[in-house]
Amino acid sequence: MTGDRMTVPAALEMLLAGNRRFTAGTPEHPNQDAARRAAIAPAQSPFAVLFGCSDSRLAAEIIFDRGLGDLFVVRTAGHVVGPEVLGSIEYGVSVLGSPLVVVLGHDSCGAVAATRSAVENGTTAGGYVQDVIERVTPSVLATRAAGRTEGEDFIHAHIRHTVDLLMERSRGLADAVQAGTAAVVGLSYRLADGTARLVTAHGAATPDPLPL
């Protein structure tokens, strides 16, 4: 969306409305034509920054039924956070003016599963995959310490941990949330039915997340 900065509630509702269309099998495929391509060629003004897992089953513009220029997408395996991720998210908020940052996790996440195996069975991975596992480990350890054992518990804990980490490590993002100009939310996506549910939220005018 181009033009004036969208409010946090409007941005979140636009995102979730697109997901409802996707799950219902009635997508509108907005902003995917030649006119939209031409309109945003001079500049972009995405209404949301979406930081998600790199899993091939989580194509953001498809599952949220959006198009060109709508989402500023950042993806890593297991949505693990590094300097490049923080810089990209800060760019989306401070330079492009996006009012909403979304952390998108999902069930059957390979990064979380590999980390659980490493913690529980002492397995290791080669190369930089081990770095991904090490960054997910705090989420797995916290879930186990809380006495939770279901797969969804680990996924939701990792989403919450990622959201909290963004708030802790990015002063610019935390300041924008404090000022009421931005919000950071965590969504959990179900692969089988395509639904995205709110797990956690920092910022004004966001709905209640799922209970712990």
pLDDT tens digit string along 147-168? 999 999 999 999 999 999 999 9
- Indicate the pLDDT class of residue 211, thresholds 50, 70 and 90: low
pLDDT digit string, tens, across residues 16-48: 999 999 999 999 999 999 999 999 999 999 999
The share of the chain scoring above pLDDT 70, in percent, equals 94
pLDDT of residue 73: 98
pLDDT of residue 124: 85
If you search the block for the tokens 């198009």, which residue do you land on? 67
- CA atoms of 176 and 156, how far apart (whole Å): 24
If you search the block for the tokens 């996707």, which residue do you land on? 22
- The torsion region of residue 190 among left (phi > 0), alpha (psi -120 to 50) and beta comes to beta
Tokens, residue 81: 């956070």
pLDDT of residue 209: 65
CA distances from 60 to 24, 27, 71, 73, 142 (A): 16, 13, 8, 8, 28
Give residues with Cβ within 8 angstroms of 132, minimum separation 6.
76, 77, 78, 80, 111, 114, 125
pLDDT digit string, tens, across residues 62-88: 999 999 999 999 999 999 999 999 999
Mean pLDDT on 78-106 = 97
pLDDT of residue 205: 58
- Indicate the pLDDT class of residue 5, thresholds 50, 70 and 90: confident
Sheet containing strand 48-53, strands side by side: 71-76, 48-53, 100-106, 183-189, 196-202
pLDDT of residue 210: 59
pLDDT surpassing 50 at residue 2: no
Mean pLDDT on 191-207 = 87
